[in-house]
Amino acid sequence: MWLYSFVINLLTPLIWLKIRRFKRTYANYRAKEACGHWGKVEADLWLHCASVGEVLAARPLVAQWREKYPDHRLLVTTMTPTGAEQVVKVFPFAQHKYLPMDWHWAVQKALSRIECPRLLIVEMELWPNLLMLAKQKGLHVSIVNARMSERSYLRYQRFPRFSSRLFALPDQFLAHAQADADRIKRLGASKVYATGSIKFDLAVSEEVLDQNWREQIDRPFVWLAASTHQGEEAQILKAHQVLLRSQPQALLVLVPRHPERFEEVSELAKESFSKVALRSKTPVNKWKDFEVVIGDSMGELMHYYQASDLAFVGGSLIKRGGHNPIEPALLSKAILVGPYTFNFQDITDQLILAKGALRCQNEEQLSNLLISLSKQSSQRIRLGQAALRFAQSSQGAVTRVLNEIDFH
């Protein structure tokens, strides 16, 4: 691990800048915890979720765990302040700490203050010092919802000695799919099980259904571009311009993946459209007065999906690898994805095969599909129903995960 220690020491100035930026930007950020200064913590389960997406993904897992062990204590760590906000909202019964940056001294300091038998890490947050020191302390470490794309696998393969030592550290990996499990095994992990994605077990909240944003938007066609990235929004906005020539009453709800880009994307939209609103400043029942609404809020993605007639899952028009298509499927929405979905390759391919999603190779195909589907509500309904059937048929991962983990 000497190479990793060298690299992280090299990156220390940048890490300090990140800590400083978080501290200045977010009132809830506790920089001392990121340096390992924790108070004494006693818990029965330590769950690590990097940020908002992982916190929300962990909801069905925590719910079933609490049903089985109602008296057990939960510690949740995050890396980001936005993730911490969601922990307070979603798991008000849990303790929260910021995970220390992966300096050996910071992790060691934090671990000296915790008494807990088990660490569950949601998705592939493999911090070498954290894993190594947690194992030395005697924690049982499980990686839940583990994903390993072919692209990531090839990157790890470039450093075989490092990868084999890293992947040998966790006690078990509970993988999205068999293809992920096979790649993780080849990288040096010993116990790997394909349990499926816990995200399929997410229950759509009563709040989302009761508030029913779609019913409040007096527009014939609303489409959502969710979790978008730089280089992608420009293509989406051009596709919306083309759509408006055919469907002048269509509305685009555009939700960037990262909150620090909300303002940037809003300004980009204003270059092409005169009627652009921010979710934070515009009630849902006023969205009908605009051409584009920027979703500048956190923790409301299911609301945005519910508000749409069709959902484009972002990160897939560019080589980012795409995001999770399960949430719109659970809401029975027609789904579009771009050509690059390697982060969720198996799930996306199966969803398309089940006729619950369509793939567009570029901006032009996106425009054409939008025009076609905006005029065919019956086709959108068929796509949405197929997506829901696929999602429901894939449920049960949380039960399988809990069965694989001995909590006694």
C-alpha separations of 297 from 37, 49, 62, 227, 360 in Å? 30, 19, 24, 12, 27
In sequence order, what are the residues at sequence separation of 6 or more whose Cβ sits closer than 8 angstroms to the Cβ of residue 7? none
Look at the block and give the residue holding tokens 């391919």: 349
Nearest residue to 126 via CA among 180, 168, 65, 176: 168
C-alpha separations of 397 from 90, 117, 198, 218 in Å? 20, 23, 5, 38
408 residues of the chain, pLDDT tens digit each: 777 888 898 999 999 999 999 999 999 999 999 999 999 999 999 999 999 889 999 999 999 999 999 999 999 999 999 999 999 999 999 999 999 999 999 999 999 999 999 999 999 999 999 999 999 999 999 999 999 999 999 999 999 999 999 999 999 999 988 999 999 999 999 999 999 999 999 889 899 999 999 999 999 999 999 999 999 999 999 999 999 999 999 999 999 999 999 999 999 999 999 999 999 999 999 999 999 999 999 889 999 999 999 999 999 999 999 999 999 999 999 999 999 999 998 899 999 999 999 999 999 999 999 999 999 999 999 999 999 999 999 999 999 999 998 665
The structure tokens listed for 32 are: 């001392």
The structure tokens listed for 299 are: 């923790």
CATH fold for domain 206-393: Rossmann fold (3.40.50)
In sequence order, what are the residues at sequence separation of 6 or more whose Cβ sits closer than 8 angstroms to the Cβ of residue 16? none
Helix ranges (DSSP H) in 159-216: 160-167, 178-186, 206-211, 213-216
pLDDT in the model for residue 407: 63
C-alpha separations of 102 from 24, 42, 193 in Å? 21, 21, 27
Q: Whole-prediction pTM value? A: 0.85
Nearest residue to 377 via CA among 308, 303, 326: 308
d(CA 48, CA 91): 13
CATH code for the domain defined by 26-203+396-404: 3.40.50.11720
| Residue 254 and residue 234 in contact, taking contact as beta carbons nearer than 8 Å | no
The length of the chain, given as a count of residues = 408
Look at the block and give the residue holding tokens 């992982």: 54
| Residue 327 and residue 306 in contact, taking contact as beta carbons nearer than 8 Å | no
pLDDT in the model for residue 6: 83
Q: Which regions of the chain carry the CATH code 3.40.50.11720?
A: 26-203+396-404
b/e burial code for range 384-398 (CB count within 10 A of at least 16 → b): bebbbebbeebbebb
d(CA 384, CA 387): 5
Question: How many other CB atoms are there within 10 angstroms of residue 278's CB atom?
Answer: 15
Catalytic residues: 54
| Residue 259 and residue 345 in contact, taking contact as beta carbons nearer than 8 Å | no
Q: Which regions of the chain carry the CATH code 3.40.50.2000?
A: 206-393
b/e burial code for range 49-71 (CB count within 10 A of at least 16 → b): bbbbbbbbbbbbbbebbbeeeee
pLDDT in the model for residue 7: 87
Look at the block and give the residue holding tokens 């999770």: 324
In eight-state DSSP terms, residue 162 is: H
